[in-house]
Amino acid sequence: METCDATKKRWAARAFLPELVGKDQVRDILDTARWAPSGSNIQPWQVAVVTGKAKQKLGDALAAARAGGQPSQPEFEYYPKEWMEPYDSRRKACGLALYQALEISREEKEKRIAAWMANYYFFGAPVGLLFFMDRGMSAGGLIDMGIFIQSVMLAATDKGLATCPQAALAEYPDIVRAELNLPDSMLLVCGMSLGKADPDAPVNNYRTERAAVEEFTSFHE
């Protein structure tokens, strides 16, 4: 698949088939993504791959924290404290499309909670990825991480697999590190679901819009 095609075909799947993804497939994807650029070639990314019992146990721990009312403590602020346009309208449109696809109304709080909890179980995907970088890195490291994570998604798309990048999986970094026996020096950036998308799931049959080039570009000659 051409890079341009993979970029346009990539989308966030939220329902997966139980079909297994082999360790070799995951390794091939990461072997491609490792060629992503980074400032001074520092390559700050570190990846934890979870499957099987480890993935289930991690999901149970994260879901229990959320259900128990434990405040989330992400390593950094992903979203602004105060929203502005056009970003506020875009996020609201995204959320509306998601819950319409799930056929969940604003009043159905229990269903909304269940939909959120699915994040912690990687939406049923057979493989979960957790992305870390060394805590000593600066903001530039996050830029490098974004490039690497996009490279992972494009490589997966090329192999006919679906992904969903998830900030929700970084809500409880201490729990993730404890469950995976990882040191505190590893800063959790985000997670990702990886597997074969379920084509019959309604949640997989909606797409978000993108702004036209003219809306975010200015040419200076």
Q: Which residue has the tokens 């056009």?
A: 86
d(CA 60, CA 127): 15
Going by C-alpha positions, the residue among 30, 57, 72, 71 that lies closest to residue 122 is 57
**Structural domains in the chain plus CATH codes:** 3-207 (3.40.109.10)
- Distance between start and end Cα atoms, the chain: 34
In a structure prediction context, what are the per-residue pLDDT tens digits for the chain, which is 221 residues long? 788 999 999 999 999 999 999 999 999 999 999 999 999 999 999 999 999 999 999 999 999 999 999 999 999 999 999 999 999 999 999 999 998 888 888 889 999 999 999 999 999 999 999 999 999 999 999 999 999 999 999 999 999 999 999 999 999 999 999 999 999 999 999 999 999 999 999 999 999 999 999 999 999 99
Phi/psi zone of residue 2: left (φ > 0), alpha (ψ -120 to 50 degrees), beta? beta
Going by C-alpha positions, the residue among 170, 163, 172, 168 that lies closest to residue 133 is 170
